[in-house]
Amino acid sequence: MSLTAEFKDPSLVRAIIKNMSDIQTKPLTFMEFCGTHTQSIFKHGIRKLLPKTIKMLSGPGCPVCVTDQKEIDYSIALSQLPGVIITTFGDFLKVPGSDGSNLQKARAWGADIRIVYSPLDAIQIALQNKQKKVIFLGIGFETTAPIVAASILRAVKDRVSNYYVFSMHKLTPPATKAILNLGEIKLDGILGPGHVSTIIGSLAWEFLPSIYNLPFAISGFEAVDIIKGLESLVKQNVEKKPQVINTYSRSVRPEGNTRAIATMNEVFYEDLACWRGLGSIPDSGLSIKSSYKKFNAKDQFDIRIPEPELFNPYDCQCHEVIRGLIEPPECRYFKNKCTPDNPLGACMVSSEGACSAYYLYSYE
């Protein structure tokens, strides 16, 4: 039997949902803050299974979706430099910058842009192309930041002198605070990201019940995982005892992955970061420390990017989707002018974006 079989059991899903229906006494609104959760919720049809009194919103949990337009502009500008090879994850190529261009178009224009599955692959490309400057575009949350930090440490160890990183990494707890501080939506609980929490630990989320009086449940990604997490949020509301509940204990520990955290802290420091849809958030980004500046693309390449005019084709409402203000179908261009093959906004680019997930699994 598969190790995850029990977490896919339909009968267990039905039993937990029935229990939720039995104990729930009022309408509740929950937000998931993880792109993989967004994808899994739609893939498993969980929204349709839940009691009608439970509303789910998708938050800014997709790192590709929240990458700022100016960072895209900078990435494109890097790709235009002579003797440069850009390496990045595949779903980053279509994200639009401030003028509507993207890395996919830059590659069509002749830029050497290569898709990799790990920054360690970029190290190998650098070793194989010593006459070139290989730049890795580092996007992602706490889940991917450790391996990017490790790639820089590997470059130090192996004396790779032609490898650079443009860090666009972002941190999830500060963005969660930003969403709540905006006060635009009323939430009764947050379904916590499993992958991120595996790195930073459950203790990193204690500010939610202590400061915001908000229930929080860390969840895995199978159907039973997600339903158990939502059941915990319902129970916390009924009992009026908000706390951090870890329903993904097979992966998440209170202290997180201390080795991964130490690797991040060795290379990066917390810095101001700009999020698409949320604006500038203090201490929500990871910048490369001065001790590793020779690997920092920002320090090593003299590029000046003018302050962009906000590119918002056809009044795309991606920024409102990211903040949980609207559902994807409420955007007038969803599924007609805006599709995964022709995305107008970042939320339709990545498979973890709310618009893409809604299109793929709820398209009617």
% pLDDT > 90, the chain:
70
Contact (Cβ atoms closer than 8 angstroms) between residue 63 and residue 272: no
Contact (Cβ atoms closer than 8 angstroms) between residue 197 and residue 204: yes
The predicted-structure confidence for 9-28, as pLDDT tens digits, reads as follows 777 877 888 888 888 778 99
Given the DSSP bridges, would you call strands 54-58 and 216-218 parallel, antiparallel or unpaired? unpaired
CA distance 188 to 179: 13
Inside any domain, residue 117: yes
Inside any domain, residue 235: yes
Q: Which domain holds residue 110?
A: 33-302+311-359
The predicted-structure confidence for 174-228, as pLDDT tens digits, reads as follows 999 999 999 999 999 999 999 999 999 999 999 999 999 999 999 999 999 999 9
Inside any domain, residue 1: no
CA distance 6 to 222: 9
Inside any domain, residue 224: yes
Inside any domain, residue 13: no
Inside any domain, residue 20: no
CA distance 149 to 288: 9
Per-residue pLDDT, 23: 84
CA distance 117 to 89: 6
Number of domains in the chain: 1
- Cβ neighbours of residue 30 closer than 8 Å, sequence gap 6 or more: 54, 55, 56, 57, 187, 188, 189, 190, 191, 230, 233
Inside any domain, residue 22: no
Inside any domain, residue 155: yes
What's 54's domain CATH number?
3.40.50.11740
Q: Output the pTM of the full model.
A: 0.91
